Structure 1
């Protein structure tokens, strides 16, 4: 079977892969109660908490009545009601659990203490204070309100935050405590239900920390797209301006632990774990290849249809070794130079200062021995999970040199 045929097969199959397991998105976010989870070492799946979106959600077996109710009543934490590419929506029960997990203060403590993330936003907002003077900013999925307060401190006339999580009550107290209540308004609302304070109809800037594990997990980007199309004034700007999803090859293999556990082989446990994308720190000295950019999403132009895709990649080994895993990471760009402002970026790659996002690891079934200069080619397909469209299914098709083509399916749901 050739590469094109395998790629087509993979795109069809990866809509029907294994589902929930592992707890470890929970270091930052907690799994929806409607999904079963099983404890396991550092792996991603059936967990991660509440970033909302007006897209990305399947009706999880609650019938037509629940789906109809979701279409009229569902409010997205951090934004809006998730709607998938086929119009399917997350059930009210699962989304309520998802939203509730962002009410936990520990989640916000972890995000606030992530200096790469928080200082990256602070620098991007405050270094563009001249552009924000007298302007109106909408903070989509405002959480603790920190980005809204950065905007107010940078000179915005008004920062409007919206979040459907109950954290908004604590955020309002923080805003008042810092004497910013006259310039920061926080709304406990879905994005669809939000009305801008009269007489406003549009805003000058959108800001949002929408990124999830592997960049797209949680499907919050559709919420930002919805906010952009509904509220952003012509000529307005979005922070971040763009995010890029990248891939690198590594010898990292945490699953080798199960080969010898106090003299016993636990490899039957390792195989189900391999089907899950894992969230962990990948040591920089395990990176074998250069990196490939899979997709760049420009916030002013990205559409919901762009969020399910297949991307070709080619990786060249700079170091000889065994390729054991494919590693996803992302770059976040804040580029307002077109508006006369500044440009900055933070990265989540191996070797960069660690973040709460870490890296997302896809463990290969079979190691691929690589000589320095060897080339690995393939495709990576990402598609929102049909049962829970905040999650993603991933199909990787790859070949080293003239070797056989291999296809492997992963769940990030």
Structure 2
């Protein structure tokens, strides 16, 4: 199943976006909307249905064809239009210089792996009107320690191979060994290109005695503007599964911890020069015993 089909078959994200568009349909009425990436076509179609005067899609032409077929023969079929080409090469049709709203399913695994982050930033700086909306615009990245994890569709004896130091998978809530730590808040309304990559410290307390085999990265998605503010969905282990998976970083050597023990360290995310839209991670840590039993989630 390709990405666009996986998105359309994900009831969690689809229902979240549907509620947003239906609840705040007044924001779209008679507005010009740009769908950056048109990954599933769902956001374009919803924008048309709630009253946008024009919806322009860039990126996935297969999904754009889906939207055109869905609107074919209706009184709204002329509202939607797709443009083929990279975001840096295209021009808006009809001499348009600005758009009122940017929509995009821009997030990838761990937010930035295979994401459209830079495409949205480019479109925002070039075409979005002052005070215009980006939907969704906020993604908050977290990490937590996990116990033994056997990836879906993998043999257990393959886990320690070099190829499986990092993978995308679903982690169960009972595998969580620590409280989660907030690594980064990304707000596309104010972010710049350099914010895509980062490094910094982390600290988290162990929930119980045991062995930490790795760390899981996950994130929450939301919309936060003056006119609209609401959570959409989560990619966390405690949330229902979505088309996006969590990112698991395995440790070379497992880490023994006691309940309430503090795990501190640093993590960095950088561009993978050998893979377009790919990322690389660095990770280091230490443990510090913490005697207090009053720890927050």
Q: TM-score, normalised by structure 2?
A: 0.89
What CA distance in whole angstroms lies between the structure 1 residues aligned with 2:187 and 2:24? 19
User: CA 1:396/1:157 → structure 2, altered by over 3 Å: closer, same or farther?
Assistant: same
User: CA 1:150/1:171 → structure 2, altered by over 3 Å: closer, same or farther?
Assistant: closer
Structure 2 equivalent of residue 244 of structure 1: 140
Structure 2 equivalent of residue 382 of structure 1: 269
Residue 333 in structure 1 maps to residue 222 in structure 2: yes
Structure 2 equivalent of residue 306 of structure 1: 195
- The equivalences for 1:307-386 within 5 A come to 307-336=196-225, 338-339=226-227, 341-386=228-273
Deviation at 1:284, TM superposition (A): 0.4
Structure 2 equivalent of residue 156 of structure 1: 52
Structure 1 equivalent of residue 293 of structure 2: none
Residue 278 in structure 1 maps to residue 174 in structure 2: no
Q: Root-mean-square deviation (CA), in Å?
A: 2.1
- SS of 1:254's equivalent in the other structure is coil
Structure 2 segments unaligned to the other structure (5+ residues): 290-297
- SS of 1:289's equivalent in the other structure is coil
User: CA 1:357/1:143 → structure 2, altered by over 3 Å: closer, same or farther?
Assistant: closer
Deviation at 1:199, TM superposition (A): 4.3
- The equivalences for 1:384-399 within 5 A come to 384-399=271-286
Equivalenced residue count is 287
The structure, 1 or 2, with the larger RCO (C-alpha pairs under 8 Å, 6+ apart) is 1
User: CA 1:138/1:286 → structure 2, altered by over 3 Å: closer, same or farther?
Assistant: same
What CA distance in whole angstroms lies between the structure 1 residues aligned with 2:142 and 2:7? 22
What CA distance in whole angstroms lies between the structure 2 residues aligned with 1:252 and 1:175? 48
Q: Which has the higher helix share?
A: 1
Structure 2 equivalent of residue 19 of structure 1: none
What CA distance in whole angstroms lies between the structure 1 residues aligned with 2:76 and 2:251? 51
What CA distance in whole angstroms lies between the structure 1 residues aligned with 2:27 and 2:7? 26
- The equivalences for 1:211-226 within 5 A come to 211-226=107-122
- SS of 1:192's equivalent in the other structure is coil
Structure 1 segments unaligned to the other structure (5+ residues): 1-27, 29-105, 260-265, 403-413
What CA distance in whole angstroms lies between the structure 2 residues aligned with 1:178 and 1:309? 47
1:115 pairs with one of 8, 11, 21: 11
Q: Which has the higher strand share?
A: 2
Deviation at 1:398, TM superposition (A): 0.9
- The equivalences for 1:13-412 within 5 A come to 106-176=2-72, 179-254=75-150, 266=157, 270-275=160-165, 277-336=166-225, 338-339=226-227, 341-401=228-288
Structure 2 equivalent of residue 75 of structure 1: none
- Whether the aligned pair in 2 keeps the contact of 1:325 and 1:364 (CA below 8 Å) is yes
What CA distance in whole angstroms lies between the structure 2 residues aligned with 1:132 and 1:258? 49
- Whether the aligned pair in 2 keeps the contact of 1:294 and 1:313 (CA below 8 Å) is yes
Q: TM-score, normalised by structure 1?
A: 0.65
User: CA 1:366/1:355 → structure 2, altered by over 3 Å: closer, same or farther?
Assistant: same
What CA distance in whole angstroms lies between the structure 1 residues aligned with 2:76 and 2:60? 21
- Whether the aligned pair in 2 keeps the contact of 1:374 and 1:401 (CA below 8 Å) is yes
Deviation at 1:107, TM superposition (A): 3.4
- Whether the aligned pair in 2 keeps the contact of 1:143 and 1:167 (CA below 8 Å) is yes
What CA distance in whole angstroms lies between the structure 2 residues aligned with 1:170 and 1:115? 18
| Range with greater deviation from structure 2 (187-196 or 165-174) | 165-174
